[in-house]
Structure 1
């Protein structure tokens, strides 16, 4: 056989499409123009790229679905999407210019493979696959390199590197939203933030054009900034590192609105009119309706938000692919009722989707949702359900090319996983459930179940704790969500022209929102509604095993009854036929007579499926048991625990026998409570709230839940403490006293002393009023450990503390870096103390860029190893024989 024979077979297979297969005569049939024996069909002549594309389709694709009703999914773009994702995920962290170098190398490889295919057309399948994957990676690298170059081209790079104060003109890419972390004590100014793009800046007396995405952070004067506004302001640039924005812009002035595009002005008016029309609704409906229709959570109270989170309904408060699907479906259905052609229906649906995206803001999350929600429409236009997976992969590729930084977004990952779950298992789960449930209920259960199984491993990494009743809550809430979406959108569009009808639509949607709120509040108080779950990668693996267990049970439950039924029916029929033939004399029965195939107690295929299913169940159960037992083991020894509480501080010092000294409690109750439970703390001898910012006192209720508390010390620049602090302490029977330098005490092996602030009037800035504690421990010979806990102390106050200590400057083993590693914490304490180790408590993917590169660089210069909760989770420190030991509590 010649070397070109494999390629010719490759081309022959590529040139034979579904139409040719349908028209080909059956094997052995020589009538109707069948080809004589020994001849071959005429080969379709394809040249160049067409031949290559056809060959790749034939070799890498799947056969068309048969008439049996089975749907074969198309995986041909999955590998290309994965390569694009991996490229976009890794390259932003590489040195600048790496993307262009990689793109050049990959394009050279693509050219070499094309030339080899032309001159040596053997090994087609592997080469064609490599060609596609290299082309996808090269394109992703090239686009990322171009985008990186655009973002910091010109003098803006020097301004960002220098952390300079600049005057800018920028375009808002989102509405200003109040942050949940800054300024959380009475009388403090609220902080607002939004994404924007600087298109003109003035730095060093020079004005220049730019295209730099930033996260703007400003005071309450920025509350009225809206999407699409062109604004002029001044502020300080702070580098944000690799991510969707290049820098933070800390506004030092208010803004001046330079202009508003007409479309943005019209959309803003519609949104504000709709939100204003919800004022007559009950509180829960008024809080939920803007979020479910427009993704606006500004009116949602904290208790309802927490109930929605526990019930697994938070996704209803953001614009998702489901909302886009409802809009597309409604328009498509109306067009179908008008008997419009299928292409026109799809076009109208896409036009409606574009209007919906503009109305709810074309932010990255909304564009992502629109792309995912449109997959079904494209599959419908293609006339084949098997195209849905291909369109999902194509959407991933297009979105990553449009915004490569989506690759590191958990929201993007969850959207893709949810859609993938629906594509792969939505219909299958429905079929499996129909063995036990009516079709309507099976369909309702299958969608949230398929999405939940795929998304849960990622969700538990972001927020440990499994919403145990999420599927049930979604089934209860799901029937009203489409009506809320469509009614709400109708109200938005009718308000300018038919206010009376718009108010009816608002009342209808609001009434249904009450049901969603009722479901959330009801499910949130069910027993074990937020089931404790391991953190990090082990928790994700355990969640994946649990999901596979659920799917395996559904599959076996749907298959086994059918197999038994077929076996019994087939065996009985075959036995009766066997007996009839025996009595008729056509088959003489005797001891060695062959038993008909149908009597062989079912088929080997069913027994194999049963065996594999049982093995899968055993593996999943073993994995769950191992993980649970491992989780229930002893906690490693520890002196200091830096709890993973997100973007905040929560530190625990071991006082022995279930008691501890707790310094700050993080922003939310649940993480702090979970950390103390895992550490076995049931009594707090000393509770220290270093200062009155929510990321340090917000978890107070969780720390005090079912625990006794002794002394409470607080620091603040204000005369009055926040009401939540006072009320929570009163409920626990505790009172707070102001801490100041000179206070000291001991509990077990712990000795503590307050070093800052001095007695008298505290510093005017809340961060600088943070209590600074020195803690010493001596749990055994050679195990002395000295720690300095600094709250959110900023650079000037740190310098004053060092000046006050003077010769009494302590030797420190462990330094808690102040203010989560922010730049304003400075590096003076690091340089003066040179500790053996440093710890930083910061939230994963926080919006502030903590810890700052400057702080990490200072630690590196002083050769101080640093341990971060955003990377390690909860950190445990201990000392043994003069050696500092670090462990991560996963």
Structure 2
């Protein structure tokens, strides 16, 4: 192969499932086992030796040479790299578990007024009190996460000094799920002595966000809940209005969680406007990433949105360098780094759903779309169009419709084991509801965020916000009609007990397929040469 093509990445054979996918799945499995108490953490004296041994495995994997007639041994390299990933995950999650134990013991000794609370999510009103998640800064300098309960509404980004009552987690399902997310217990606020915002620009951004949310909460409607969720990353109003069950029956719960689709809509509109201004590629990509970063910070940096932003940065870098992008490799590498830096993400349902759905789309979206096209071609009656082609607008519309339907099917099937454990239902109208929700959701997001930004600055600033409200009212009516259908959703058994078995089977299947693919490519290359 010429050097120029090799540098550009054209025609380079790649396994369908990259090695980074095995590393990510193995890392998540080990971290979940340690956080769930099924695997004891390594002794503190062995952590350094474990990391050094893992680095030595990297050197061995990189220098795995040849045997016999020169055939490489990809299996050995993959196994060594898997050992590296699991060793690091074991060590880092063990450190997190020990830190959680120390913080839990300290919280039981110190007075609540000596701690500083940083609210990490908007509080949700239920059963006479407001609840949210917060980070506690202890007198010793350690930090940990707790569930926070208060009689007053608090907003994400607030710093609280207050008198609290500490309660450890119970030994039940909720307690186990909380520990998996890095939460050590619950604090109930008795009285608040001071409230302030984080210092710097981030605090001013969060203060502006809370002002906009207070305006939306003052007139609680479904459209206001949609705007608060998709534009400001606050699902609190939607939960208080009981929208979760209806969205789950329609398969539209993901629309309220800020993720890659939200960033894609916002950045695509910005890139289109900048392209019409004839802006060069590098400044255009920088502006798009800056907008995405601002939106992620505005919404509180949820893991799914951070993952999407990092993947977008990777794709932009590949485009600037003139190299071929590989979405699945980027997804797995970004997910692996995030899981190692914060092992509690392995216990976050939103993070796992984001990874699994995007991985399924990378692997199966195009084959599913082609299969649907072939199936519809066979079902078409012979007198419909004959050999004549559809007009170009209709052809493009049908192509987009099939792509959206295939993406919805793939995402639903990929996340089925996780969703059955978390929600217990399977939406039978999800492909249809996702297809019908595209236009109102896109228009509502595209007009809602600018409307919030311009509100109070210009006399016509209410117009985009009113358009957004109309779009989300239409979407709410659609959700209500579809969720009311008799067979909109069916119950599913809880697959939580076999989840590790499913993930282990996926690791084994991916490992075998990848190694066989690499050996076939190596044989084919030697045969051609």
TM-score normalised by structure 2 residue count: 0.76
Partner Cα distance (1:303, 1:227) in 2:
21
Q: CA deviation at 1:364?
A: 4.0
Per-residue Cα deviation, 1:334-392 (whole angstroms, up to 9, x for no partner): 33333333333322222111110111112445434544666765665565665101100
RCO comparison, higher one (Cα < 8 Å, 6+)? 2
RMSD: 3.7
**Residues 285 and 514 in structure 1, CA contact (< 8 A), matched pair in contact too:** yes
Indicate the residue corresponding to 2:438 in structure 1. Answer: 478
Indicate the residue corresponding to 1:497 in structure 2. Answer: 457
Partner Cα distance (1:215, 1:534) in 2:
29
Per-residue Cα deviation, 1:787-842 (whole angstroms, up to 9, x for no partner): xxxxxxxxxxxxxxxxxxxxxxxxxxxxxxxxxxxxxxxxxxxxxxxxxxxxxxxx
Unaligned runs of 5+ in 2: 170-175, 378-397, 504-529
Instruction: Flag the 1:344–1:99 CA change in 2: closer, same or farther, 3 A.
Output: farther
Per-residue Cα deviation, 1:631-667 (whole angstroms, up to 9, x for no partner): xxxxxxxxxxxxxxxxxxxxxxxxxxxxxxxxxxxxx
Partner Cα distance (2:62, 2:356) in 1:
36
3-state SS in 1 of match to 2:155: coil
Partner Cα distance (2:363, 2:192) in 1:
50
Indicate the residue corresponding to 2:22 in structure 1. Answer: 79
Instruction: Flag the 1:249–1:502 CA change in 2: closer, same or farther, 3 A.
Output: same
1:671-710 matches, within 5 Å, as none
Per-residue Cα deviation, 1:166-214 (whole angstroms, up to 9, x for no partner): 323324242441254xxx3xxxxx222222222243xxxxxx4322222
1:125 maps to which of 65, 69, 74: 74
1:599-748 matches, within 5 Å, as none
1:226 maps to which of 155, 159, 164: 155
2:447 maps to which of 475, 483, 487: 487
Indicate the residue corresponding to 1:852 in structure 2. Answer: none
Q: Does 1:177 align with 2:123?
A: yes
Q: CA deviation at 1:145?
A: 4.3
Partner Cα distance (2:148, 2:65) in 1:
56
3-state SS in 1 of match to 2:137: strand
Q: CA deviation at 1:397?
A: 0.9
3-state SS in 2 of match to 1:231: strand
1:154-553 matches, within 5 Å, as 156=103, 158-160=105-107, 162=108, 165-178=111-124, 180=126, 184=127, 190-201=128-139, 208-218=140-150, 220-221=151-152, 223=153, 225-240=154-169, 242-243=179-180, 244-257=182-195, 260-275=198-213, 283-300=221-238, 302=241, 304-364=243-303, 366-368=305-307, 370-371=309-310, 377=316, 387-435=326-374, 436=376, 438-495=398-455, 497-498=457-458, 500-536=459-495
**Higher alpha-carbon deviation: 457-466 or 169-178:** 169-178
2:92 maps to which of 118, 128, 143: 143
**Residues 209 and 298 in structure 2, CA contact (< 8 A), matched pair in contact too:** yes
**Residues 120 and 300 in structure 2, CA contact (< 8 A), matched pair in contact too:** yes
Q: CA deviation at 1:135?
A: 2.9
Indicate the residue corresponding to 1:630 in structure 2. Answer: none
**Residues 263 and 305 in structure 2, CA contact (< 8 A), matched pair in contact too:** no
Q: CA deviation at 1:144?
A: 3.2
Q: CA deviation at 1:393?
A: 0.4
Indicate the residue corresponding to 2:509 in structure 1. Answer: none
**Residues 50 and 88 in structure 2, CA contact (< 8 A), matched pair in contact too:** no
Partner Cα distance (1:327, 1:148) in 2:
38
3-state SS in 2 of match to 1:254: strand
Q: CA deviation at 1:312?
A: 1.4
Unaligned runs of 5+ in 1: 1-15, 24-62, 185-189, 202-207, 545-890
1:835-874 matches, within 5 Å, as none
Partner Cα distance (1:114, 1:272) in 2:
50
Partner Cα distance (1:285, 1:95) in 2:
47
**Residues 121 and 132 in structure 2, CA contact (< 8 A), matched pair in contact too:** yes
3-state SS in 2 of match to 1:209: coil
Indicate the residue corresponding to 1:91 in structure 2. Answer: 34
**Residues 104 and 184 in structure 2, CA contact (< 8 A), matched pair in contact too:** no
**Residues 310 and 524 in structure 1, CA contact (< 8 A), matched pair in contact too:** yes
Q: CA deviation at 1:303?
A: 5.3
**Residues 237 and 249 in structure 1, CA contact (< 8 A), matched pair in contact too:** yes
**Residues 19 and 78 in structure 2, CA contact (< 8 A), matched pair in contact too:** no
Number of equivalenced pairs? 465
3-state SS in 2 of match to 1:194: strand
The structure with the largest alpha-carbon Rg is 1
Instruction: Flag the 1:302–1:274 CA change in 2: closer, same or farther, 3 A.
Output: closer
